[in-house]
Copies of this chain bind each other. A is one copy, B any other.
Amino acid sequence: MAGRPKIFDEREVVEKAVDVFWTKGYETASADELLDAMGIGKGSFYLAFKGGKKELYEKSLRQYADRFDKQLLHDLSVSKDPVQLIKDFFMALADDPKSKQMKGCYIGNALVQLSDGDVDTKLIAAELLGSVESIFTDVIRKAQEEKKLKNKAKPEVLGKYLINLWNGVNVTRRSNPGYEHLREVLEMSLQVLH
């Protein structure tokens, strides 16, 4: 209850770190660069994040996913047609600006960018993607129960199908942002949600 006061808020600086990691990638984002963006010095950083860069990255993954999930759950909760909301959510991917198209999914990137040495961090990313998947699964299960979805496939399979679509689009559009056919691919892919 004493001592010099912190000059930064942890959530805020982690958010700044997300930006850097997202645009540069985990390996390529240097500690100096991160600290610069976060606006704190090494002294403060290594005191607050004893695990260094890796701890910062894991916290950034968790914080990002947490916010994403909360937002999605909220949007779903106020929606009259959750299945349509999911469709819209995917269709919106085709309208993102090129800069965003090139960045991919913050969590999915972790799965592909981390080397074999970072198995534990990869596991976190997998778990976080899994939680989005189960949000999808729940929406689908409920819609099926309420006879709002004709497709009788297992909700778990449809949920994984959607995450797979998400992962695919986030790689595909990197290679050709704004490609004319992306919208049609998405429409074709979402026909399973009938």
| Residues of A near any B CB (own CB < 8 A) | 23-25, 27-28, 102, 104, 108-109, 111-113, 115-117, 122, 125-126, 129-130, 153-154, 156-158, 160-161, 163-172, 174-176, 179, 181-182, 184-185, 188-189, 192
Contacts and interface: CB of A to CB of B under 8 A. Distances in A.
Nearest to A173: B164
Contacts of A167: 167-168, 171-172
Nearest to A127: B175
Where chain A touches its partner, the secondary structure class is helix
A161 B174 contact: no
A184 B168 CA distance: 17
B115 A175 contact: no
A133 B11 CA distance: 42
B111 A174 contact: yes
Contacts of A108: 112, 171
A133 to B, nearest CB: 9
A61 to B, nearest CB: 13
A171 B125 CA distance: 12
A111 B175 CA distance: 7
The 9 closest A-B pairs by CB, nearest first: A168-B168, A126-B175, A167-B171, A112-B112, A27-B27, A164-B168, A28-B115, A167-B168, A157-B184
Given A164-B169, A168-B164, A115 B156 contact: no
Given A111-B171, A130-B176, A164-B172, 13 more contacts: A23-B116, A111-B175, A112-B112, A122-B174, A122-B175, A126-B175, A161-B188, A165-B168, A167-B171, A168-B168, A168-B169, A170-B171, A188-B192
Nearest to A116: B23
A161 B185 CA distance: 5
